[in-house]
Structure 1
Amino acid sequence: MTDTTLIIADNQPLTALALRTWAEKNELVGSIIESPDQQSLEDSLRELSDENVLLIIDVELFDFSDKDELIAFFQTHNQLRKLFIGDHFNEEELFFIAEEMQSNIVLKSVDLEELRIAVSFALKGRYYIQSELLNLLMRKNAAPVKPENEEVHLTPTEKDIVSLIASGKTTKEVAVIRSLSYHTVVTHRKNIFRKLGVSSIHALTIYAIKSGLIDTTEYYI
């Protein structure tokens, strides 16, 4: 168990109760708060340090007026670890959450073991998308990240870093594993994103899977 506070932002009492009961049973966090609306969420966050909070949120059932308000909220609370949940996501919603929110994503129908993995990744600052949703992202991104006539050349070190990032490792963890400084890994990461023409970890993960640098079995274990 960590000293992290879990905030469940969902206005469906049964969903909130189920998540609370599950989290308490698995002893995943230090304390749990339920926030059925934006005002109660803001009130809770005023009493807490953002970096010590894991937010599980269903934005479809929450009272953000539009995407701009949602973006503004997370720009203000940019240290929050977050996991978006929902009954379903259309392609527009999924890409908005993955690209602009840079958030972990699962469906409410997710297997409990995969939910545990998603929460554990979020608690460690890692990136996680449920397998079913990642497959949808991969189908949408069927085209290569670079034009076919533009070959991508990654060094062995860069390929290794890609596989580590795509498997959910944080920049600090990559630095330790590779015996590199944090700033060196940051530089490698910027170069990798530039070479591949990507701007998000989910796009990098899709590249890693398609390139055989990591497989979906490894990703979800």
Structure 2
Amino acid sequence: YRQLNSQVYQYDFEDCFHVVNENNICHTANSFNEKCIFVGELFYCFIISSDSIRKMTLIIADNQDITRAGMIYISNRIFSSIKEVRTKNELIRQLSECPDAVTVLDYTLLDISADYLLILQERFKQVNWVLFSDSLSEDFIRRMAFSGKSFSIVLKDVAMDEIEDALRHARHSEQYICRQLATWLFAKEAKNGEEVSPLTVTEKELLKAIALGKTTKEIAAERFLSVHTVMTHRKNIFRKLKVNNAHEATKYALRAGVLDTVEYYI
């Protein structure tokens, strides 16, 4: 907050706005999180919409005290509730109590395998993970990066602003790959893309558009094609790649270097 004069203060919170409430009573829907503060002769009611308070619980799963302390320092402005766990059993218990939490995890320190992590992802579908470690294998990085947007990956030696970016992305159910790993993934996929592709140049361009989330109508309008023509190309692309949907096609586009990994994660 900041002082406006000797009696009145202005409070600035993320995702908040002010209203004056004469009786210090909130007349709003139950789906809102409300806080009333008496300042001078005014009542300020801070209303945080139900959308903005989603994923407000953070679970820090790491057995190193210094790591947990540092993560708390970075995240206490983003999350209203922060829980610490040191073992796999404690993690499962906290996930059961907070099934929509953002979870920062160094899986190498809690004796958790990649397979078990995917099992947890399936069990706790609303959890968004920030995999935070300095000992990540190439296979693990690739597997997690392409296993869905609930997994963000950040190395422990990145700058503090990247860690904060990752937490904010995870809070809004968005995937974040730290710049170092995103660049590395792009280089690896570009190299793999040098292999002979079954797709024509036009089909690669259409595949990239599909992977970026563009609709058939949008692609048709951009390329001055009919919707029917784009649908035909789409079917041919899926047939050649032996995939059944846009998600599988996107995974291929990333692996083959058709789509810029950095562009995709931005």
Q: Which amino acid in structure 2 is aligned with residue 11 of structure 1?
A: N
- Match in the other structure for 2:5: none
Per the TM alignment, residue 219 of structure 1 is displaced from its structure 2 partner at its CA by: 5.6
Question: Do the aligned partners of residues 41 and 135 (structure 1) sit closer, same or farther apart at CA in structure 2, a change above 3 Å counting?
Answer: same
Asked which structure has the greater RCO (Cα within 8 Å, sep 6+), the reply is 1
Q: Which amino acid in structure 1 is aligned with residue 58 of structure 2?
A: L
More moved, 192-201 vs 123-132: 192-201
Q: 1:63 aligns with which of 108, 111, 115?
A: 111
- Match in the other structure for 1:151: 200
* Structure 1 residues 67-121: Cα deviation after superposition (integer angstroms, max 9, x where no partner): 3322222211122111111113221221232234651101011111222222222
* Structure 1 residues 169-213: Cα deviation after superposition (integer angstroms, max 9, x where no partner): xxxxx89xx8xxxxxxxxx9xx69948947386764553227xxx
Equivalent-residue separation in structure 2 for 1:153 and 1:109 (angstroms): 41
Could you tell me the TM-score, scaled by structure 1's length?
0.69
Which consecutive unaligned segments of at least 5 residues does structure 2 have?
Answer: 1-13, 15-51, 219-230, 242-246
Alignment of 1:1-221 (within 5 A): 2-3=52-53, 4-24=56-76, 27-48=77-98, 50-51=99-100, 53-64=101-112, 66-100=113-147, 103-141=151-189, 142-144=191-193, 147-151=196-200, 153=202, 159=208, 162-163=211-212, 194=238, 197=241, 199=248, 204=253, 206-209=257-260
Which consecutive unaligned segments of at least 5 residues does structure 1 have?
Answer: 166-173, 179-187
Question: Do the aligned partners of residues 70 and 160 (structure 1) sit closer, same or farther apart at CA in structure 2, a change above 3 Å counting?
Answer: closer
- State whether residues 54 and 80 of structure 1, in contact with CA within 8 Å, keep that contact through their aligned partners in structure 2: yes
Question: Do the aligned partners of residues 219 and 150 (structure 1) sit closer, same or farther apart at CA in structure 2, a change above 3 Å counting?
Answer: closer
- State whether residues 152 and 170 of structure 2, in contact with CA within 8 Å, keep that contact through their aligned partners in structure 1: yes
- State whether residues 7 and 32 of structure 1, in contact with CA within 8 Å, keep that contact through their aligned partners in structure 2: yes
Larger Rg: 2
Identity percentage over the alignment?
Answer: 22
More moved, 10-19 vs 83-92: 83-92
Which has the larger strand fraction? 2
Which has the larger helix fraction? 1
Q: Which amino acid in structure 1 is aligned with residue 258 of structure 2?
A: Y
Could you tell me the TM-score, scaled by structure 2's length?
0.58
Aligned residues: 188
- State whether residues 59 and 103 of structure 2, in contact with CA within 8 Å, keep that contact through their aligned partners in structure 1: yes
